[in-house]
């Protein structure tokens, strides 16, 4: 059976535009939280989020890409990943075996929201053709296919906050089954006021800082950004002389359906997700050297994820470094697990485990090694990336150094 490898990575995050700046921030434990600027939060009790800052595109590209800011984030991350893979710039036809898979939660709701606000100038009896063109989630894959000439299968994953990992799982299957040679895969989301309001009304948002696994954690912080991976069949990548960053060893999916928002109290769905991923990857629990935890900072999610990790890994669970990079960049919704998959590949590359920042008071119920506050050097060869979404949609991916 063929292998699936990663040959390119791209990032736009609240702590940096591009791989280099983002990784430096992760390694240094920088906090991307700030006061909301996208819309007025005076009527809310929470006023902070993790918005993308200092984003830029080349002038000529700024004029080419649609007015949709999310499209610009995805374009930047995709171009960066393609440049690293060596596939950028090849505009020839015949890319019918090059596919696209993107995970998102809300796509780009903000132009649509602007139509509904007072004092908005409406055209054509209230119908704005630009909004109609960029609002649908599939406009993301359409834009990428158009600019990079990917002519193969495409897919949008709308599985809530595990959408990115679900997209990666889809890509893995297409490559393993020899349906495609290359897949541009990842996730992207912004912070629409609709989603901010939704989580605010659920009382799920922290007012000041995200503190995953801390005893006094108050909730999640919404973030935004994009993460892209170039995944290829190993034979295809080898034949074209590509530099290989990592291998995707497998994935696990489950849906416990316990509750629309709350996880199963004993982590049943998360256990199945991680166990299925280990089985597909033909790995033992002892093979895993790092877990990029879902780690939202909400009381129930962090507690049940800890329970699930202990159930799957047994005594080895206490020896595995874990961390929540959401403590730095917030919860990127449908983009979260895709961005975190990029981070996992960077951990394999650099041998540094990013920290869980804002950690102050240990919680006896979350007593794993959460890499508190400071990054750690570690020669890691196999990594688990967890993503657990509303409705019990669980998705775990495993990355490792190519053997």
Which residues sit opposite 253 in a β-bridge?
395
Catalytic residue IDs: 161, 294, 331
CB 134 within 8 A of CB 110: no
């Amino acid at each position: 059976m063929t292998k699936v490898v990663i040959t390119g990575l791209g990032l736009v995050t609240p702590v940096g535009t591009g791989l280099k700046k983002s990784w430096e921030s992760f390694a240094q434990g920088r906090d991307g939280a700030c006061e909301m600027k996208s819309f007025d939060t005076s009527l809310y009790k929470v006023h902070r989020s993790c918005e993308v800052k200092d984003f830029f595109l080349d002038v000529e590209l700024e004029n080419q890409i649609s007015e949709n800011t999310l499209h610009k984030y995805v374009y930047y991350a995709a171009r960066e990943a393609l440049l690293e893979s060596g596939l950028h710039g090849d505009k020839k036809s015949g890319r019918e075996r090059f596919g696209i898979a993107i995970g998102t939660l809300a796509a780009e709701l903000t132009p649509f929201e602007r139509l509904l606000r007072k004092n908005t100038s409406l055209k054509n009896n209230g119908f704005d053709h630009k909004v109609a063109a960029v609002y649908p989630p599939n406009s993301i894959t359409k834009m990428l296919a158009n600019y990079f000439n990917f002519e193969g299968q495409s897919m949008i994953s709308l599985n809530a906050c595990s959408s990115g990992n679900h997209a990666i799982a889809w890509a893995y299957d297409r490559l393993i089954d020899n349906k495609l040679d290359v897949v541009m895969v990842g996730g992207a989301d912004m912070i629409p006021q609709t989603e901010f309001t939704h989580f605010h009304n659920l009382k799920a948002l922290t007012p000041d800082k995200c503190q995953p696994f801390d005893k006094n954690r108050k909730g999640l912080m919404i973030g935004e950004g994009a993460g892209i991976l170039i995944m290829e069949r190993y034979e295809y990548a080898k034949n074209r002389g590509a530099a290989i960053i990592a291998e995707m060893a497998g994935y696990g999916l489950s849906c416990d359906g316990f509750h629309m928002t709350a996880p199963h109290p004993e982590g049943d769905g998360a256990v199945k997700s991680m166990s299925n991923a280990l089985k597909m990857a033909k790995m033992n629990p002892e093979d895993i050297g790092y877990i990029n935890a879902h780690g939202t900072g909400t009381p129930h999610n962090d507690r049940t994820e800890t329970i699930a990790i202990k159930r799957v890994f047994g005594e080895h669970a206490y020896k595995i470094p874990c961390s929540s990079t959401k403590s730095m960049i917030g919860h990127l919704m449908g983009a979260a697990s895709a961005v975190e998959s990029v981070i996992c590949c960077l951990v394999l590359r650099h041998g540094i485990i990013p920290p869980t920042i804002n950690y102050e008071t240990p919680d006896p119920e979350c007593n794993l090694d959460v890499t508190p506050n400071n990054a750690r050097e570690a020669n890691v060869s196999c990594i688990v990336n967890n993503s657990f979404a509303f409705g019990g949609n669980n998705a775990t991916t495993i990355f490792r150094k190519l053997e």
